[in-house]
């Protein structure tokens, strides 16, 4: 498949537009969708890269939500297992057994969740740059660990 310079540039910009998430909420979905919607029928190369970009961003969202769904209940359980609700009806509650040993569970869960989320974001950053370089060279690139939502 021969690609024009315009197609390569469009695909590269589409990959790099996901970085708009750091300035505009949901920009990592909005801008690639916008570019892909206007250019997908004109070029197979742009269509392929648009699908890859959106599938990767949706996969990262899913992985982040799964991490959140695991971390938040564990964190809440760890916090609320140490609160006594016996005197809560009097407008007052008692935190019992809030020792360093119990607090360390909260800290460990928070650190693991935070580190995993940071790891996801760092991986995402480098993979987007790598995909942009590949597309600027006219090569097709499949992001690793990506679920194919759009086929």
**pTM, whole model, 2 decimals?**
0.82
Task: Provide the token pair at 5.
Answer: 């310079």
Q: What is the pLDDT of residues 36-86, one digit of tens each?
A: 999 999 999 999 999 999 999 999 999 999 888 888 887 777 767 766 655
DSSP code for 24: S
Q: What is the pLDDT of residues 90-134, one digit of tens each?
A: 666 555 555 556 566 667 777 888 899 899 999 999 999 999 999
Neighbours of 110 (CB within 10 A): 14
Kindly list the distances between the CA atom of residue 119 and the CA atoms of 43, 64, 110, in Å, as whole numbers in the listed order: 34, 11, 14
């Amino acid at each position: 498949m021969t690609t024009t310079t315009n197609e390569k540039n469009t695909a590269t910009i589409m990959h790099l537009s996901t970085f708009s998430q750091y300035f505009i909420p949901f920009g990592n979905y909005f801008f690639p969708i916008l570019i892909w919607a206007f250019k997908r029928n004109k070029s197979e190369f742009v269509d392929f890269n648009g699908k890859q970009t959106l599938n990767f961003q949706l996969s990262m969202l899913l992985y982040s939500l799964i991490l959140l769904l695991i971390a938040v209940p564990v964190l809440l359980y760890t916090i609320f297992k140490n609160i006594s609700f016996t005197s809560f009806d009097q407008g007052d509650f008692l935190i019992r057994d809030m020792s360093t040993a119990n607090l360390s569970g909260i800290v460990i869960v928070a650190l693991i969740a935070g580190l995993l989320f940071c790891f996801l974001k760092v991986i995402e950053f480098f993979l987007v740059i790598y995909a942009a370089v590949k597309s600027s060279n006219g090569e097709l690139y499949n992001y690793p660990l990506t679920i194919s939502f759009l086929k």
